Structure formats: C-alpha cells, structure tokens
Amino acid sequence: MSDDPETPATNLDDEDFPAYTMGRAAELLGATPGFLRSLDEAKLITPQRSEGGHRRYSRYQLRLAGRARELVDNGTSLEAACRIIILEDQLAEALRINAELSAADEEG
C-alpha cells in the first residue's frame, strides 16, 4: 500500500474526508437535505464541494449534524443547538489537550 495521504484506504480512516454526498448524509441522519443546508447556513458545518459544486460531508460533520438533529428534535432551536454543539466540541478538545499534557507531565 502507498504512503500517499490521498489513497482510498487512508481516506477511509480519515474523520475529515468528505466521503458522503448530501443525499447519502441526509439518509444516514434521517434528515432532509434542507436540514443539512440549514446547518451550513448556521455555520455549524461547512461541507466541502465536489468539482461539480455538490456538497460533500465527512464523518465528523455527520456526527455534528446528528447531534444537531437530536437537539432540534427535542425542541431546541437550531441556533441554540448549534451553540451547544460548538461548546461541546470545544470542551472535548480542551479535555483532550489536558489529557495529553497530563500524560506528558507524568512521563517527564
């Protein structure tokens, strides 16, 4: 197998690889394409565009969209859901960095 980062095998493991079309993403989430467009408009997720201009979503973006759908389905406004998800994502990143720093301190 090649070490080229653009090989298909590598892309399968890449959380940020835009592997899903809008239709497939909507199907996986049980949502409408309009819901996905609204997440783009709210700037929660910004899908990449194919050469033909079609939206393409990554697994990471689908997780965020799934969380947004869950919150909205439970009565949270889209704007509030997006803010909650951004804060949850920032907290997860801060906890990850803290764990790395703690591990480095224990080693050193």
pLDDT tens track for 22-80: 999 999 999 999 999 999 999 999 999 989 999 999 999 999 999 999 999 999 999 99
pLDDT at 61: 96
**pTM of the predicted protein model:** 0.81
pLDDT at 14: 87
| Side chain identity at residue 62, one-letter code | L
| All domains of the chain in start order, with CATH | 20-107 (1.10.1660.10)
What is the residue-wise DSSP string for the chain?
Answer: ----TTSHHHHHH-TT---EEHHHHHHHHT--HHHHHHHHHTTS---EE-TTS-EEE-HHHHHHHHHHHHHHHTT--HHHHHHHHHHHHHHHHHHHHHHHHHHHHHH-
Query: From CA 101, how far away is CA 49, in angstroms rounded?
Result: 36
Q: Is the model's pLDDT at 2 over the cut of 80?
A: no
Q: Is the model's pLDDT at 5 over the cut of 60?
A: no
